[in-house]
Amino acid sequence: MERTLILVKPDAMQRGLAGEILSRFERRGLRIIGLRLLQVDDALAKRHYGMHEGKPFFDGLVSYICASPIIAAVLEGTNAINAARQTMGATNPVQAAPGTIRGDLGIEIGRNLVHGSDAPESAEREIGLFFGDGGLAPWERSIDRWVFE
Ligand code: IDP
Ligand code: MG
């Protein structure tokens, strides 16, 4: 089992696509174990996207992720990181395959609707940034485990 951090970015929030996007991950078989609506501030944006500092799109990326409240979610499942990124599609929506979130719902690389962790180390770091104070509910006492096992 693996965990990944997903962000429903401001363009998706503003377009009313949060439910659609979360629904696609849910239907794929990824289980929501953390969910939070929040306004990202400049400091959190710069920590989250720290690896992109110095790139030409960095300042725009930071203001984009701060542009409205977003949803942060932790998803859990088999190969959750790669499965989520496959469901998201390529970074540039023009190159993302039809059937993916970005391929179906986006057209601009700077407005690509959704973030997903790209490796176990980044997932751990990003989950810490958005859920460091707790708030995860790992379904330990759930009775519908047979759906996933
Ligand atoms: P990812 O979101 O698919 O992991 P990254 O390469 O990690 O893609 O880039 C982070 C985010 O930065 C992208 O999702 C996108 O919002 C933005 N971004 C990446 N490349 C560009 C670009 O060339 N122009 C504008 N924005 C970009
Ligand atoms: Mg990335």
Q: Which domains does the chain have, with CATH numbers?
A: 2-134 (3.30.70.141)
Q: Which of 48, 112, 122 to mutate to test the pocket of ligand 1 (most atoms within 8 A of CB)?
A: 112
SS3 3: strand
Average pLDDT of the chain to the nearest whole number = 95
Rounded-to-integer distance, Cα 69 and Cα 98, Å = 27
* pTM for this predicted structure: 0.95
More confident: 138 or 95:
95
DSSP secondary structure code for residue 52 in this structure: G
Which residues are CB-neighbours of 102 under 8 A, at least 6 positions away? Answer: 88, 89, 90, 91, 92, 93, 96, 112, 113, 114
Q: Which of 48, 61, 88, 122 to mutate to test the pocket of ligand 1 (most atoms within 8 A of CB)?
A: 61
Structure confidence by residue, pLDDT tens digits, 130-145: 999 999 998 876 666 6
**Res 124: pLDDT:** 98
Q: Is 48 a catalytic residue?
A: no
Using only C-alpha atoms, the chain has a radius of gyration, in whole angstroms, of 15
**Which residue among 115, 116, 127, 130 is the active-site one?**
115
Kindly state if the Cβ of 109 falls inside 6 Å of ligand 1: yes
Altogether, the residues listed in the chain come to a count of 149
Structure confidence by residue, pLDDT tens digits, 20-30: 999 999 999 99
Which secondary structure element, helix H or strand E, spans residue 112, and what is its range?
none
The answer to whether residues 76 and 5 touch, using CB atoms and an 8 Å cutoff, is no
Kindly state if the Cβ of 96 falls inside 6 Å of ligand 1: no
